[in-house]
Amino acid sequence: MIYDVIVVGTGAGGSTVARELSRNGLDVLILEKGGLVPSGSAVTQIKTADLKLNLEVTDSKYEFLNYPGELMYIEGVGGTTPVSLANACYACTSCYYNSPTAQFKIHDLEIFEELLEASKDLKVGPLPQTRTGPMTRKIWDAMEKLGYFVEPMPKFIDYPQCNNCGLCIEGCTHGAKWDGREFVNQAVQAGAKLVSEFTVNKVLHSEGKAWGVEGIDKQGNIKTYQAQRIILAAGALNTPKILKNSQLTKGVGEGLFTDLFITVGGFLKNAKLNKEIPMGIKSEFGAYFLSPHFSSQLIPLMAEKGFHVKNEDVVGLMVKIADEANGSLGDDGSITKTLTRNDLKLLTEGYDKAVEILTELGVDPSSIVATSLRGAHPGGTAAMGRVVNQALETSIKNLFIADASVIPQAPGRPPILTITSLAKRLAKNVLQDTVQLKN
Ligand SMILES: Cc1cc2nc3c(=O)[nH]c(=O)nc-3n(C[C@H](O)[C@H](O)[C@H](O)COP(=O)(O)OP(=O)(O)OC[C@H]3O[C@@H](n4cnc5c(N)ncnc54)[C@H](O)[C@@H]3O)c2cc1C
């Protein structure tokens, strides 16, 4: 059988493009490396990759610079979305010059309409006052007292289904938080075929045109599938591997960003931040933002300082920056990046503000620690203008990319809404081409 489209990967990008195309009558085959991800334990599926950070400069005041960095992602149906904290950045030009919408406009791609459509599909809205937990409210007040502008975080939560458990990262068991599994199910209901536990190795092409993929099924057999068009959405760490295996190498695997973050936290008896909807509010500072965040990583670090605390006694703030897109994926699987002078400036400014806010809240300053540098939004590794054009097509005809790898620069903001919008845009282009071909 020759499918209309093969979609590789079922995360933010793959699930969306598969849904849009199958709902509009195309024969879609979805190939997914991982298996089904159970709600309630998605967090156990998180994989971490070592992130080797070369420090352009360092500062001995900030211990977190000494810890090894890491990148987080999931391989399973729904991609990394089941563990998301439901944060939805509108990626509009008003927040920061690095917004993806502004970045794509440089390449003559306007995705505003798709952002509105995706916001509606994902039920995006600001966290209501009634859902703002008591500790989050106290953090809001402390921030305002210090003169910082605070606003509710836009979330993709269907609030009537939400019981405020604060366990978004485990994969919502109430069906309140959107994740890619919902779109995969809708695609399958509309007739798409899903083959999970199938790892695509390369795209098959000849005379400059893609016509299929080759991969390995769960029994270890090599299999090929054919289609008119191939859409890679294997995520920013895996799409480059498939491209390189397919002899498309120029600029591939370079320009990695990760939206680096740390969580700064300390001891506050009965804070219970871990029981509230995470990251319910934010305070924007251009290339970085601060948001309440409980991280269990803080607990052993606090113990080293003599504070043996329980989860409910920890209060933390995430500092997330738009890091420079200078990383690369090695052929040996290594991931390296330089932490530039500017990255360090953003992180340390955010750290200092977090300490100021925590102290205002009543946190014992001697208990304050920061986690290692982590990244949960890898992107940039097959960027628009370098690897794909404005239509998200590579130099191989009929081979497209619909995931975070096409975003050129770090937004420093949650990318799911942007990726779903891009995928919607690609689906519209494909549908338009199909109609033209049929006529
Ligand atoms: C803990 C955590 C919390 C987060 N919270 C948020 C948030 O609140 N808001 C937000 O916007 N973002 C959040 N993110 C980031 C967000 O989840 C990712 O940026 C987003 O899912 C990336 O989408 P993608 O389509 O590029 O890739 P992914 O969602 O990672 O999907 C890639 C898919 O491709 C599959 N795949 C990989 N290789 C192959 C192969 N060879 N063959 C077949 N299939 C393959 C994978 O299994 C996976 O299903 C969070 C991330 C983490 C780790």
* 3-class secondary structure, 53: strand
The reply to whether 287 and 334 lie within a common domain is: yes
Using only C-alpha atoms, the chain has a radius of gyration, in whole angstroms, of 21
Q: What is the pTM of this model?
A: 0.97
- The domain that holds 100 is classified in CATH as 3.50.50.60
Domains held by the chain: number: 2
Mean pLDDT score, 83-103: 77
Same domain, 90 and 198: yes
Range of the domain at 150: 45-70+127-155+163-172+260-375
Q: What is the DSSP string of 180-210?
A: HHHHHHHHHHTT-EEE-S-EEEEEEEETTEE
Are 407 and 392 contacting, i.e. CB atoms less than 8 angstroms apart? no
Give yes or no for residue 404 CB within 6 A of ligand 1. yes
Q: Give yes or no: residues 50 and 133 share one domain.
A: yes
Q: Do 325 and 400 belong together in one domain?
A: no
Average pLDDT of span 91-115: 79
For ligand 1, is residue 80 a contact (CB within 6 Å)? Answer: yes
Is 336 in the same domain as 236? no
Cα–Cα–Cα angle for 82, 83, 87, nearest 5°?
100
Q: Both 218 and 298 in a single domain? A: no
How would residue 99 be classed by pLDDT, with cut points 50, 70 and 90? Answer: confident
Q: Out of 84, 168, 222, 417, give the residue to mutate to test ligand 1, the one with the largest number of ligand atoms within 8 Å of its CB.
A: 84
At 73 the pLDDT is 97
Same domain? 235 vs 87: yes
Same domain? For 331 and 364 the reply is yes
Residues 277 and 306 in one domain: yes
What is the DSSP annotation of 207-231?
TTEEEEEEEE-TTS-EEEEEEEEEE
pLDDT for 103: 86
User: Do 320 and 331 share a domain, yes or no?
Assistant: yes
Nearest to 181 by CA among 296, 30, 307, 3: 30
417 band by pLDDT with thresholds 50, 70 and 90: very high
pLDDT in tens, 206-260: 999 999 999 999 999 999 999 999 999 999 999 999 999 999 999 999 999 999 9
Ligand 1, atom 37, lies closest to the CA of 234
Q: Which atom of ligand 1 is nearest to the CA of 405?
A: 26
Residues 264 and 247 in one domain: no
Residue 184 CB less than 6 A away from ligand 1? no
